[in-house]
């Protein structure tokens, strides 16, 4: 579900709650999965995220959503950590994790592969550059479906 206006409203409601609770708003999304609408909020902290942190933020966001009522349809609210294998959604995320091991999933084959594991060396609007076994591999961003951290590499 692509509703940028709704995402902006939800971001404006969630951001002060998350930051006021001492966390970073890593990412939020409103998606349809298995026939259900889900408003998902990822929170982060240098100290890590606990279940109690998620419950606290979820309750505070839920209270505001009950008053503001920005979502007209039935939905579930989920608050969680992005995890160690986190998806890198934004340019800021990519910048933060330069020189980190990543897994890149592609939506089309490049050299017979749809997955590449390596160290993210750089990126621009057109390409991601990975170091894989001391070789530079350039992947067109138009073919990238997801980039996630891969600490097991």
Provide the whole-model pTM: 0.88
More confident residue, 78 or 2: 78
Which residue range(s) make up the domain with 114? 91-149
**Average pLDDT rounded to a whole number, residues 110-135:** 96
Residue 85 inside a domain? The answer is no
30-52 mean pLDDT: 96
Q: How many domains does the chain have?
A: 2
Q: Are residues 48 and 108 in the same domain?
A: no
Q: Does 40 share its domain with 105?
A: no
User: What's the half-sphere exposure (Cβ side, CA atoms, 13 Å) at 103?
Assistant: 13
Task: Give the residue from 80, 105, 136 where a domain finishes.
Answer: 80
pLDDT at 49 exceeding the cut of 80: yes
**CATH number of 142's domain:** 2.30.30.100
């Amino acid at each position: 579900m692509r509703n940028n206006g709704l995402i902006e409203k939800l971001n404006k409601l969630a951001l002060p709650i998350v930051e006021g609770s001492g966390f970073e708003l890593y990412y939020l999304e409103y998606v349809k999965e298995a026939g259900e609408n889900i408003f998902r909020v990822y929170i982060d902290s240098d100290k890590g995220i606990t279940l109690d942190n998620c419950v606290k933020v979820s309750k505070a966001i839920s209270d505001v959503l009950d008053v503001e009522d920005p979502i007209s349809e039935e939905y579930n609210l989920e608050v969680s950590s992005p995890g160690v294998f986190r998806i890198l959604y934004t340019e800021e995320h990519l910048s933060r994790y330069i020189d980190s091991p990543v897994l890149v999933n592609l939506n089309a084959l490049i050299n017979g592969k749809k997955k590449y594991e390596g160290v993210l060396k750089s990126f621009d609007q057109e390409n991601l550059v990975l170091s894989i076994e001391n070789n530079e591999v350039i992947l067109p961003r138009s073919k990238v479906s997801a980039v996630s951290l891969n600490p097991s590499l």
